[in-house]
Amino acid sequence: MAILVDENSKILIQGITGSYGGRHAKLSLDYGTQVVAGVTPGKGGQLFENRVPIFDTVSEAVRETGATVSTIFVPPPFAGDAILEAADAGVDLIVCITEGIPVVDMMRVKAVLKDYPHCRLIGPNCPGLVTPGRGEQSHGGCRIGIAPGYIHRRGGIGIVSRSGTLTYEAVWQVTNLGMGQSTCVGIGGDPINGTSHLDVLKLFNDDPETEAIIMIGEIGGTREEEAAAWAKEHCRKPIAGFIAGATAPPGRRMGHAGAIISGGQGTAEAKKAAMREAGIMVAETPAEIGATLVKAMNK
């Protein structure tokens, strides 16, 4: 079953004609993803890669193609607006890849999205999500965003992470252990975002295909602690975790806008402690995430 998306999901891409959006639209198509439309205001009527119709508006794209998911590859000054356009057009899921959106813009977007309770936002500043296919090198699945497709394999491990490349490490370790992933969700590195670890844990908990979960976090904020507290009471499946940033100095923004230890809060130590307290097995190094998952599953 997987969560959020599968091989049947119809995807539109806002910003498909930009070089970044275009490159990843092509990689998604190569993976077998149903990219059915692109949206770039002013470029409606053109065709992407001679096969995907481009529209001026998300509304038109949804009406003409039945797309229910939008991926946003729009530059920071316009990305907040792009998110709200997609919500207004009635998509079920918005995945915003864009890094660099001002935090005030996201504050306002989140407040407005309360008017669209059936619409979920993932990101921004995220690598997207992948539900692997069942074909050669997991071809035939749904790849939204920028992850390399070939590292995945369809299976029973759900992965939720704030990171991009660190997530690929975990995915690759799982695949090399002979297991596979149900869905991999990158929630992104920004301090105000659409979907939290907790939101995704709940979805994995209710997904029949997901047998065990990997949760990857980093310094900053208290979302991992909230997720751990919920998991302790409610999660029926084993969880393994890793927190990046044990060696990060306080007060510095470590790349991700949300990766900052502030006023003593948001340290890696505090998160690891909260996770262990909740029965989550915590990997001490990023190289051991797969092995820690195996321990958690055998507990």
Partner 1 sequence: MNIHEYQAKQLFDEYGVASPRGKVAETPEQARQAAEEIGSNLVIKAQIHAGGRGKGTFKSGFQGGVHLCSSPADVEAKATQMLGQTLITHQTGPEGKLVSKVMVAESVEIARELYFAIVMDRATERPVIMASTAGGMDIEEVAHDTPEKILREGVHPLNGFQPYQGRKLAAFLGLSGAQAAAAGKLFTNLYNLFLAKDCSLVEVNPLVVTKSGEVLALDAKFNFDDNALYRQKQVAAMRDITEEDPREVAASEYALNYIGLDGNIACLVNGAGLAMATMDIIKFSGGEPANFLDVGGGASKEQVTAAFKIILGDPNVKGILINIFGGIMDCNIIAEGVIAAVKEVGLSLPLVVRLEGNNVAMGKQTLAASGLNLVSADNLADAAAKIVKAIAA
Residue with smaller CB distance to partner 1, 16 or 67: 16
Q: Judge residue 230's burial from the number of C-beta atoms within 10 Å of its C-beta, 0-12 exposed, 13-18 middle, 19 or more buried.
A: middle
Nearest approach, Cβ of residue 237 and partner 1 (Å) = 23
As measured in angstroms, the least distance from the Cβ of 177 to partner 1 is 12
Binding site for partner 1 (CB under 8 A): 20, 23-24, 76-77, 100-104, 107-108, 110-112, 127, 146-148, 151, 161-169, 172, 189, 191-192, 216, 218-222, 242, 244-249, 252-259, 263-264, 268, 284-288
Q: Smallest distance, Å, CB 157 to partner 1?
A: 18
d(CA 184, CA 181): 7
Q: Identify the active-site residue in 24, 152, 197, 256.
A: 256
What six digits make up the tokens of 173? 């370790």
* Whether the Cβ atoms of residue 246 and residue 268 lie closer than 8 Å to each other: yes
Cα separation, 241 vs 218, in Å, equals 11
Q: Which residues pair with 184 in a beta bridge?
A: 130, 159
Note if 24 is an active site residue. no
For residue 192, the minimal CB distance to partner 1 (Å) is 5
Does residue 75 come out as left (phi exceeding 0), alpha (psi in the -120 to 50 range) or beta? Answer: beta
Q: Is the CB of 44 or the CB of 75 nearer to partner 1?
A: 75
Calculate the dihedral angle through the C-alpha atoms of 244, 240, 6, 116, rounding to the nearest 10 degrees: -70
Nearer to partner 1, 62 or 198 (CB): 198
CB 262 to partner 1: min, Å: 8
Contacts of 238 (CB under 8 A, 6+ apart): 212, 213, 281, 293, 296, 297, 299
Residue 26, both tokens: 């092509």
- What is d(CA 124, CA 110) in angstroms, rounded to the nearest whole number? 11
- In the chain the first and final C-alpha atoms are separated, in Å, by 25
Q: Which is nearer to partner 1, 156 or 241 (CB)?
A: 241
- Quick one: 234 or 252, whose CB is closer to partner 1? 252
Catalogue the active-site residues: 256
